[in-house]
Amino acid sequence: MKKLPPGQRRIDGFPRFGTHLHRPPPPMPEDPVIALSGAVRRRPPVRLEELSRLPRREIVADFHCVAGWTATDLHWEGVRFADFYRLFVQPVLEPDTTITHLAFEGLDEVASVVELRDALTDDVLLADRLNGRPLGGDHGAPVRLVSPGQYGYMNIKHLCLIEVCSTLPVHRLGTGIVERLIEGHPRARVWHEERHARIAGRLVRPFYRALIRPIRYLSSKGARDS
């Protein structure tokens, strides 16, 4: 049995999970796009059908939730984010601008801020298929970010917007009580156990695990109400 990152436990299946799951998944747009904003010149949003211009990529990877569970051997299909960045983002960057961060936002209004060097890692995908099937609403349809080396909160579902930033986009960081309590680490690397921005990962494990039951309740309630 393969080794898991520190503090992680293997689970069966791949549940829909997150602090916002009292709401159902967002509806699927008729013509899905990924818009670009920030330090870029104006350009039309990238229609998802344009991703066919990029080579397809398949990876088998584990998904690590910051709460401490890991879903193993998930088969993702899509395009490398590095290829997307090269084809659609680099040509429209503002001249003489150094890009440091990318803010990813989904149709469910959940967002993450990822350092450019982490986003361009070879195994980071814009995925549209999971385990041989098109993504469903629970796991990020029509397309989602998949970054296997980072905790799940970086892996934005229902991706619709990428903000290209030359500095840390502070306006993208949560300011509510819950967001402050579970303030994510800016890099969120699972093998370094970077769970929290201010507290050592091993110290916050019990707190995150205590959240699993109430979040699962909200998730199941959202499924019943949808």
| Interval 162-201: pLDDT, tens | 999 999 998 766 555 455 556 778 999 999 999 987 777 6
Which pLDDT value is given to residue 225? 38
Parse the chain into domains and list their residue ranges: 9-176+187-204
Distance CA 128, CA 81 (A): 12
| CA distances to 29, 46, 132, 180 from 153, in Å | 23, 24, 23, 14
pLDDT number for residue 147: 98
CA-to-CA distance for 146 and 133, rounded, in angstroms? 16
pTM of the shown model:
0.88
Average pLDDT value for residue range 74-78? 98
In this structure, how many other beta carbons lie within 10 angstroms of the beta carbon of residue 51? 19
Question: Please, which residues bridge with residue 77 across strands?
Answer: 58, 129
Q: Which fold has domain 9-176+187-204?
A: Sulfite Oxidase; Chain A, domain 2 (3.90.420)
Q: How far apart are the C-alpha atoms of 130 and 30, rounded to whole Å?
A: 21
pLDDT recorded at residue 183: 73
CB 58 within 8 A of CB 75: yes
Residue 224: pLDDT band (50, 70, 90) is very low
Give pLDDT tens digits for 4-59: 999 999 988 898 776 555 678 899 999 999 999 999 998 899 999 999 999 999 99
